[in-house]
Chains A and B, each alone.
Chain A
């Protein structure tokens, strides 16, 4: 009974402008009124509208794609270039070619190192991309082009290893996993500069 009175009081307060700040998301998640909001004391300085619900495990499971350059977000897994070759020949070769040379609208993935200062630069994963995590992330989120999302983590590690090995960046024996992948130093890593514009005086 005492609890009910408290919640009645809170409900009245919620109608006022100040009480909008009291209604925390933890309180919303428990809108059946079975317990007090846990942390209403410091609510006023943070939550302002009490809109939305607390994220749950299922939400994170649905959105598990973002991977950062330090390896944030990489799932456990492993793969080598030897294993990756088999996957490449099954899932990638039709568009990107036997040697990663690309075709039509599908970009080359191999070669071009040393070409960026010439009149015919060939920017590829090997010659241009600054982070190995970017390769893993893009393969994982967007490839194969016709069926994105179908490769398992081990397969993405393996294909990434194969692409890097084809470009001479890692040895064929190296096992890529959530620890070794972010440690790979890409050849063009230090050749990116911040935006200097306006550059025309």
Chain B
């Protein structure tokens, strides 16, 4: 659609020098007697472009380590550089087990079978005919801040908490799709499978599925990014990232979990008695200060805003408290709404730094009354034994230490 005032047929200044000179002289006249010569013309800006990019001066980026299996691994969101609650899609953390597949949405489809009355196949176009919903939800890798649990705290918030992102997801409730196929009475679980090279698969109990799980094709107003499951993924609000199956290709309704590697081994939690917890789906209430945070520098004493993110896989955040003295005293932070369930909530608190040493901490409380614990509390119960994939489901309080020279470090 063409906007009349900005049509491509407007004369360009360099091809019509007379127009330009007249423009300059008018500008000079406008300045009156104060200016004797015509002012230098302000340079015209860049032209339009079909798909926007940020300023080249902005450098916030995901980070990731080197690996002998580059297609397998994770990249982390630069939480210290972000505002508000929505993670730009380009900066959403990644976790892949066999690389990002290239999938054509025109040929991709979803098989729904198992304990259903009518096994069905849906194309992307089919799924978009169902009534859609858009919901803001975080996705957090089960292993996010696992190094904190282990006792190797992250030097900055990207390293310590960057396997966390928050987006508006658009799609169809999985319940709607299941109703279309008709559940058989024996149905208790579903198994979801991706169309990536390793066909990532996970089992989900049916009560969660019927509650709030989405089959999503939209992310922050546009199609999912390839790294986030293009063209179709599962969104399982509040539950560990791995179960939000990307590149979704099949859903099988079953009477039991299928004990895939990810649920039967990798994302289990090894306890001190040698037993392991499994199907620990919920990501419990957690918060972290993102400014000031590790590796940032304060420009001398004075006013600052302490700001961070809080979330709970069990619902809404109801309160966030901030301490600047290692947890001796706590002040209630402001929650910058909207406060949505199973979504990131931004909190903030004005702070006057007196130039002395300070230990900054945040703790959150969710609508179930659950209070974010300390690392000591978690370690006392869960111990320090690494499972097959290290430490998962850690949600302890994070401390940032402000030094007299303004440097902020981890503790």
Contacts and interface: CB of A to CB of B under 8 A. Distances in A.
Interface of A: 25, 46-49, 51-56, 59-60, 62-63, 65-70, 72, 104-107, 116-117, 119, 121, 123-124, 128-131, 133-134, 137-138, 141-142, 145, 148-149, 188, 191-200
Given A51-B130, A66-B201, A134-B260, 13 more contacts: A53-B121, A59-B113, A69-B256, A105-B72, A121-B274, A128-B388, A133-B259, A134-B264, A142-B98, A142-B199, A191-B276, A192-B264, A193-B277
**Which A-B residue pairs are the 6 nearest by beta carbons?**
A117-B274, A142-B198, A55-B119, A116-B274, A52-B120, A200-B373
Contacts of A66: 191, 193, 201, 250, 252, 258
Contact of A55 (B120, B126, B393): B120
A43 B264 CA distance: 39
Interface string B193-204: 100011101000
Interface in B290-331: none
A63 B98 contact: no
Nearest to A56: B121
A108 to B, nearest CB: 10
The number of chain B residues touching the other chain, given as a range, is 35 or more
B336 interface: no
6 contacts: A55-B112, A195-B277, A195-B278, A195-B281, A198-B284, A199-B382
User: Max chain A CB contacts within 10 Å: which of B179, B258, B386?
Assistant: B258
Contacts of A129: 261, 264-265
A62 B186 CA distance: 25
Contacts of A53: 120-121, 126
Contacts of B118: 25, 46-47, 54
Contacts of A117: 272-274
Nearest to A131: B259
A200 B381 contact: yes
Contacts of B334: none
A142 B373 CA distance: 37
Given A52-B126, A142-B97, A68 B284 contact: no
B94 to A, nearest CB: 16
B280 A134 contact: no
A200 B377 contact: yes
A115 to B, nearest CB: 9
Interface of B: 67-69, 72, 97-98, 109, 111-113, 117-122, 126-127, 129-130, 176, 179-182, 191, 193, 197-199, 201, 249-250, 252, 254, 256-261, 264-265, 268, 270-282, 284, 368, 370, 373, 377-378, 381-382, 385-388, 393
Contacts of B279: 194-195
Contact of B276 (A48, A106, A193): A193
Contacts of B179: 46, 48
Contacts of A54: 118-121
A200 B285 CA distance: 12
A157 to B, nearest CB: 17
B276 A25 contact: no
Contact of B282 (A107, A124, A191, A197): A197
A120 to B, nearest CB: 9
Contacts of B284: 197-198
Contacts of B111: 55, 59-60, 62-63
A196 B69 contact: no
A192 B250 contact: no
B385 A121 contact: yes
A191 B249 CA distance: 32
Given A195-B277, A196-B277, A130 B270 contact: no
B361 to A, nearest CB: 16
B193 A65 contact: yes
B101 to A, nearest CB: 12
Contacts of B260: 134, 137-138
A114 to B, nearest CB: 9
Contacts of A142: 97-98, 197-199, 261
Nearest to B201: A66
A87 to B, nearest CB: 19
A160 to B, nearest CB: 13
B95 to A, nearest CB: 14
Contacts of A196: 277
A168 to B, nearest CB: 19
A68 to B, nearest CB: 4
A119 B272 CA distance: 9
Given A65-B199, A134-B260, A55 B113 contact: yes
Most buried by B among A48, A129, A148, A200: A200
Most chain A CB atoms below 10 A, which of B118, B281, B282, B370:
B118
A59 to B, nearest CB: 5
A107 B193 contact: no
A52 B180 contact: yes
Contact of B197 (A56, A148, A195): A148
A47 B382 contact: no
